[in-house]
Amino acid sequence: MAFETGDFVNHATFGSGEVILDRGATVIVRFEHGIEECEFTSINSSLTLPQVIEAGNWQASLPVILRGLAATIDSLNDRWSVFSRSRVKLLPHQLWVCRKVLERWPFRWLIADDVGLGKTIEAGLILWPLISRKIVRRVLILTPASLVEQWVIRLREMFDLRFTPYTTEADTPHSGFWETHNQVVASLQTLRDDRRGRHERLLASPAWDLVIVDEAHHLNADEASGTTLSFRLVQKLSEFEKLKSLIFFTGTPHRGKDYSFLSLLKLLRSDLFEDPKQPLEIYLPALREVMIRNNKQNVTDLHGSLLFNGVETQAATYHYSLQETEFYDTLTQFILAGYTYASSLDGFEGRAVNLVLSALQKLASSSVAAVRAALKKRLQSLKSQQKELDQLKVLRQQLKTLLNQMDTSDHSDDDVAALDERIVELSVSLSLMENEEEYLVKLVDLSATITSETRIHRILELLKGRFAGRPVLFFTEYKATQSLLINALIQNYGETAVTFINGDQEVRNVNGEILRCQRERAIKLFNTGEARFLVSTEAAGEGVDLQQNCHTLIHVDLPWNPMRLHQRVGRLYRYGQIHKVEVVTLRNPDTIEAVIWERLEEKMQRIQLALSGVMEESEDLFPIVLGMTAPSVWAELFSEAATVPKDTLNSWFDTKTSRFGGQDALKTVRELVGHCASFDYRELAGQLLEVDLPALRPFFTGMLMYNHRQSKLTEDGLAFRTPEAWTGIGIKPNYSGLVFDRNFKGNDAEQRILGIGHPLLGRALEQARALEESAALLPSELLPNPLILLSITDRVTESSGSIRAVIVGVEFADSPILRHDYEIISHLNSLIKPVLRRTEPGDSETIPITILQNWLLEAEQLVASNTADLDLPFRVLDIKPLVLLYPESLLTKDLLESKGCISVL
């Protein structure tokens, strides 16, 4: 017997497929994973639905329904990842991102969602169907160093995905790290540095199916200075063809320069973005093909309710004591004298002196404690005069290197505070002014008279007043200020009430003892309420979720970059926060920093009003505006403000900030947002409300029934004896306590939650896909109208892989009705009833062949004419009927009508 093109066949390894060409000894077959050439004897013929109808035989109802359910489950999960075993509540915008990304394989996307919308969850939802179907095997995630552990933990806890953290110790010339680890999370800062053959080994290893870059704005390219190390690392992977698919995550994709933004896009899609020197307007139409952005103002839950309640910011003022005032006045004189001295210097010396003075200003704006330590160290170094000339040369060279590093954005924000302190430490090789030592002696002596700081007293007043009994998150830039506040909180509330996060994971108490706390432990203590206060440096400014038990944040100091304020607030203002977030900025109106912040806030309000006036929908676009302003602008603004006469401060400020939020920036923001792909709940309303793990239970119990296994549902979950057809590696002979609930919190949740990825469900789906039954007669009380399921695939194979097929249905009521896969699964689930235990086929002599053949044709035509509404990701559609379910009550009418006796009502 020969096979005809279009015949369906089954293969023991590859499953079901469609014949392309019979070559005699071999047959070329298209399976769901791709095209294979198989031995003729290894495949068996499988009847299509039209062939079953033509043969005139009804088939057993249970396997027909199970086959339809398996195809529908695949259709939904391939596009939405809605049946993944993630142990977090899924949100429409996350499912939409998953669907958008998985429309093509391989894919390249820049996901620029607002902070707090769940990028790790989006990554996991994208990964699950790809890994479970073995489309993706090797995955590399590049992330800031402080977030490596978090990515590893969250992917494991939320999705049961086991990634290996990269360490330099494990990557040696003889370890074969990159060949033996297929799922890796690596620090971008570590891996970008090509030391001891690191890049050579990486580029010699097998290609990555998918590379994910978190905080991708660190992949910076400047038209004048070139690209950062991080950019060049990803560029190397691309040029050496070591990655197939690529995803960038960043909340601030445009950093103020079109060239840098377009270079990032070219790294993703060089076919769409060829020349970063071209005007941005040329490439705007292509943005929707590569860039996704969702924002807090528009995202909803599955019922369409907005998720976020907003942020309320208030200032809490305080004034210096007499001792503090004298100290700060003297420090101001010192800094002004230093700037004057720096203006007489050229080149490196002048720039370095300015940078040191700026660092001292920032330290002082945080606390006396922070700047005192820097001043004392500098004074001791100057007094000793014991440093050898060679040692001074070394320090000078280290300072030069550090200044060059600061010219790039290739470092994370949590490094900034450490850089400030390091600059002051290395600057001992420079003189800040002619009589510097005299100033330093006076400043150190004055700082010694300050035994308590008024800003700390103001914080304690707030805690005893409006925030009494409430958990509070504190942010500060420097460890000295952090330690100062921690000790004050301990003295007032006890040591167990306070925890902390910083890069060193330790602080000193008032007795000089070292207190240690791991980052993840601090997060757990605070989120569970075991610790009332969490005091953090910028080390927790990104990638930390602290919204579970807290909605109050106090900025102990104000960094010289508004973006970092936004990132701080993002620790609380994220999904899961049920309250309006209250933010307090602590400031002394007598300081120049407070004056500048007041001016900045006024300008921010004007910019937000300008944006709101031209956008069709409400959206907080300010993070993008902030991201478009270089950090150096803020540093210059705050440092130079101290030298400006008060009567000219307003005009100077307006000139200095003219480019911040200017018309060019606002125009760019509006164009970016207007051309991005974004989630709209109105497009999804009603589609996914009931589709979650519980929708899998009827299919799974139906498959147990098909395999003659009884299941028992108890309070603990589902219990049964494993069918013989499902046995294999990792499968137990008996199960109990299995649940279809992603919110299940037991210690053994990984084994008990049933969803895509669990080996049992995988075996059940595999068996159901191989079922050949396709036409069944059902009791009319279960099925009032005939239903035909059709499978839509893409005949173009070059972009296939992530989505096998989309299942649609046509219900024949008074007129044909098109049904989506999310409607079909609910309908089919209702048919898995005890009555379906009867597995005998219907009367083979009563099938109305002509009518059903006409219905098949009508169903295909209806689907073909509604492809736009179906939003299919395919290029060339291939529509095939898959399953027919028919009510008994119509049999007599159909037969009589076919003989010309009556008409169908």
For residues 152 and 268, membership in a common domain is answered with yes
For residues 277 and 138, membership in a common domain is answered with yes
The boundaries of the domain holding residue 615 are 591-675
Question: Residue 895 above 50 pLDDT?
Answer: no
Question: How do residues 443-462 score in pLDDT, each as one tens digit?
Answer: 999 999 999 999 999 999 99
Question: How do residues 798-821 score in pLDDT, each as one tens digit?
Answer: 655 578 899 999 999 888 999 999
pLDDT at 141: 98
- 162 CB burial (10 A radius; 0-12, 13-18, 19+): exposed
CB 592 within 8 A of CB 328: no
Residues in the chain: 905
pLDDT at 861: 94
Can you tell me the mean pLDDT for 408-433? 63
- Pick the range with the lowest mean pLDDT from 35-39, 563-567, 679-683: 679-683
pLDDT at 395: 56
* 217 DSSP 8-state letter: G
Can you tell me the mean pLDDT for 260-289? 92
End position of a domain, from candidates 622, 641, 675: 675
Tokens of 258: 């079109």
The residue that leads in pLDDT, 38 or 679, is 38
Tokens of 236: 């190397």
For residues 478 and 570, membership in a common domain is answered with yes
Strands, E assignment, 318-419: none
pLDDT at 308: 87
CB 807 within 8 A of CB 821: yes
For residues 36 and 55, membership in a common domain is answered with no
Residue 92 CA, distance from chain mean position: 14
Question: How do residues 295-337 score in pLDDT, each as one tens digit?
Answer: 887 888 877 788 888 899 999 999 999 999 999 999 999 999 9
- 903 found inside a domain: no
Phi, psi of 687 (to 5 degrees): -80, -40
For residues 482 and 503, membership in a common domain is answered with yes
**pLDDT category of residue 406 using cuts at 50, 70 and 90:** low
- 547 found inside a domain: yes
Question: How do residues 506-524 score in pLDDT, each as one tens digit?
Answer: 888 877 788 899 888 999 9
User: Cα separation of 502 and 668, whole Å?
Assistant: 36
pTM metric for this prediction: 0.84
Question: Residue 900 above 70 pLDDT?
Answer: no
Question: How do residues 475-509 score in pLDDT, each as one tens digit?
Answer: 999 999 999 999 999 999 999 999 999 888 888 88
End position of a domain, from candidates 387, 415, 448: 448
> How many domains is the chain built from?
7
The residue that leads in pLDDT, 643 or 382, is 643
**pLDDT category of residue 905 using cuts at 50, 70 and 90:** very low
Smallest CA-to-CA distance from 115 within 449, 544, 688 is with 544
pLDDT at 901: 33
CB 218 within 8 A of CB 80: no
Question: Residue 408 above 60 pLDDT?
Answer: no
Question: Residue 1 above 50 pLDDT?
Answer: yes
For residues 150 and 251, membership in a common domain is answered with yes
End position of a domain, from candidates 448, 482, 498: 448
CB 156 within 8 A of CB 163: yes
- 297 found inside a domain: no
For residues 516 and 664, membership in a common domain is answered with no
**pLDDT category of residue 874 using cuts at 50, 70 and 90:** confident
Can you tell me the mean pLDDT for 354-368? 90
pLDDT at 114: 85
pLDDT at 238: 94
pLDDT at 897: 52
pLDDT at 798: 64
For residues 17 and 41, membership in a common domain is answered with yes
Question: How do residues 753-772 score in pLDDT, each as one tens digit?
Answer: 999 889 999 999 999 998 98
Phi-psi region of 800 (alpha: psi -120 to 50; beta: other; left: phi over 0): beta
Does residue 881 sit in helix, strand or coil? Answer: strand
Question: Residue 274 above 60 pLDDT?
Answer: yes
- 577 found inside a domain: yes
For residues 616 and 569, membership in a common domain is answered with no
- The percentage of residues in the chain with a pLDDT greater than 90, rounded to a whole number, is 47
* 407 DSSP 8-state letter: T
Asked if the bond preceding 106 is cis, omega within 30° of 0, the reply is yes
Tokens of 816: 């044909």
pLDDT at 387: 53
